[in-house]
Amino acid sequence: MIVGRSTVTVDAQGRLIVPSAWQADLGESVVVIRDRSASGERFLTALTVKAYDAMIDDFAHNPPTDKRYADVSRHILQYACGCKFDQKRRMTVDADNLRYAGITGSAVLTANIKSNNPVFEIWEPEALERNNRAYDERELEEALSRNAEEVRNLK
């Protein structure tokens, strides 16, 4: 089951070990794509083949003439890389994608869901912390705004 988070070492060849508890749900390989959070932080998402196929199916339902969808799907596909697990259950992420996410030396793997399938994200540790703080601050601002609206509406 892909749940929780784990801090891992990324070696000079771009290899990292995925938590053993996640391995049963991943199969023999994953597809790594570039991603960006709402706060603007860059990270990578590792999808099972099933999750990747579901994501592609989601895009297939959009009109092919819609430039926005064409640009997004092109961006996802041109940088996607298939990563097979070796005998030690390590996966190798290509150097360009690691550079995109700013990952060197260590990474944090976090569980998530895309297209109704479990996936995991690969984050540079400080980028994940910045993202979490931004999310916490955004949630706080939204809660304060809702509370202020409720107070204004009291009679």
Domains (range + CATH), the chain: 5-125 (3.40.1550.20)
Q: Say if CB 43 and CB 101 are below 8 A apart.
A: yes
pLDDT digits (tens, 9 = 90+) for 48-73: 998 898 888 887 777 777 888 788 88
pLDDT digits (tens, 9 = 90+) for 6-25: 999 999 999 999 998 898 88
% the chain with pLDDT above 70: 99
Predicted TM-score (pTM) of this structure: 0.83
Residue 149 has pLDDT above 60, yes or no: yes
Alpha carbon distance, N-terminus to C-terminus of the chain: 50
Beta-bridge partner residues of 91: 16, 85
Q: What is residue 155's predicted lDDT score, i.e. its pLDDT? A: 57
